Structure 1
Amino acid sequence: MSRGKRDITLRFLAEPGDVNFGGKVHGGAVMKWIDLAAYACSAAWSGKYCITAYAGGIRFVQPIHVGNLVEVSAKVIYTGRSSMHIAIGVQASDPKELKNRLTTHCIVIMVAVDEDGKPTSVPEWIPETEEDVKLRDSAIKLMNMRKEIGEEMEAHVKYLK
C-alpha cells in the first residue's frame, strides 16, 4: 500500500472462535477488526505508527454470522495536527451470495506517534468532493460534541477512583 492512501478495506471470513453465547459474532471481535482497519488506514495515510485515541458512536446494526465474508472499510475524513478521524463501516454477506449488508459503523480517532511515543504531525487531508466536505464537517461537529460530553463525564470519573 502506498503512503497517502486515504482508504482501505480488510476482508476475511468470520470464524467459530469469533462467536458469542448467542451464536452471533461477538461485538468485541468486531471492535478488534475495526481497530485493525483504523490502524491500517491511518498508518497508510501518515506513513507512521499510529495509536487509537478514541472509538465512538459505534452502532451494531445487524449481526454477523459464522462463515460470513466480512468487509471492514476505513476512510480518512478529517486530519488534525497529529490525529486522523477514520470513518469505519463493517459489512457482511454469505460468501455464496455476496449481498453485502451493513452490520456496524463508527468513528475512530488515531494519533501518529514518533519513536518516543509522542504525537507527530500527519499530512493534511483536504476534501475534494461535496461528499468529502460533508464528511469533514460531520467529523468536526462530532469532535465538538465529544468535547462537551468529555466535560460532563469528568463529574463521573472522580467517583470511579
Structure 2
Amino acid sequence: MAGIEREITLRFLAEPADVNFGGKVHGGAVMKWIDLAAYACGAGWSGKYCITAYAGGIRFLKPIHVGNIVEVTGKVIYTGRTSMHIGIDVKAGEPTSPLKQLTTHCVVIMVAVDESGVATQVPEWVPTSEKDIKLRESAITLMQMRKKIGDEMAAHVAE
C-alpha cells in the first residue's frame, strides 16, 4: 500500500566478484546497490514502478571488504509531485560483529511512472520529528543547489 513504507534496508554479503584492483569492493558495485535500495524504497513508498532521475553527493567514507555484511538503507526524505528524494546510507562490518560502520552516503531522486512510462503522482511525505524536518529542509536546499549547478553546466552542453 502506497504512502506507508518510508524506509527499507537491503542486507547481503560482499562477494569476491565485487572486488576492485585494490582488493576492496568496487565503487561501481556500491553504486548498483544504492540504485537497488533507492528503487525498492521509492516503489514501496509510491506503490509504482520508479526510475532513477538523479544520484548525487555520493561520499565514499570507508572501504567495504569482501566478506563484509553490507546494509544499504534507503529513506524517503522529501516528496515532490512525482518524485521522491531518498537518503541512502551504506554500512558494512564483519559478519561476526553487530557493529557496522557508515561507508557511503548519498541522495537519489526516484520518479514514479505509470505503465506508459509517464511520471505519476506520489503520496506526500510529511515529516513529524525534528530530525525528519531537518532532512526535508536539507533535501530542499540540495534541490536549489542542483538548479544552480545545472544552470552553470548548461554552458558545457553542446546543442
User: Do Structure 1 and Structure 2 share a fold, with TM-score over 0.5?
Assistant: yes
User: Matches of 1:79 and 1:51 in 2, distance apart?
Assistant: 15
Map 1:67-86; keep pairs closer than 5 Å. 67-86=67-86
The aligned amino acid for 2:155 is A
Map 1:39-118; keep pairs closer than 5 Å. 39-118=39-118
Structure 1 residue ranges (4+ consecutive) displaced by more than 2 angstroms after TM superposition? none
Q: Which residue of 2 aligns with 1:156?
A: 156
User: Matches of 2:90 and 2:157 in 1, distance apart?
Assistant: 31
User: Matches of 2:99 and 2:134 in 1, distance apart?
Assistant: 27
Identity percentage over the alignment? 73
The aligned amino acid for 1:13 is L
Q: Does 2:138 match 1:138?
A: yes
Deviations 1:137-156 (A, max 9, x none): 00000000000001111111
Residues paired across the two proteins, number: 158
User: Matches of 1:87 and 1:132 in 2, distance apart?
Assistant: 11
User: Matches of 1:52 and 1:139 in 2, distance apart?
Assistant: 16
Q: Which residue of 2 aligns with 1:123?
A: 123
Unaligned ranges ≥5, structure 1: none
Deviation at 1:114, TM superposition (A): 0.6
Deviation at 1:98, TM superposition (A): 2.5
Question: Bigger CA drift: 93-102 or 29-38?
Answer: 93-102
Q: Which residue of 2 aligns with 1:37?
A: 37
Q: What is the RMSD of the two structures over their aligned residues, measured on CA atoms?
A: 0.9
Q: Secondary structure at the match of 1:36?
A: helix
TM-score, scaled to structure 2: 0.97
Deviation at 1:157, TM superposition (A): 1.6
Deviations 1:44-80 (A, max 9, x none): 0000000000000000000000000000000000000
Deviation at 1:21, TM superposition (A): 0.4
Deviations 1:8-60 (A, max 9, x none): 00000000000000000000000000000000000000000000000000000
User: Matches of 1:107 and 1:153 in 2, distance apart?
Assistant: 20
The aligned amino acid for 2:117 is G
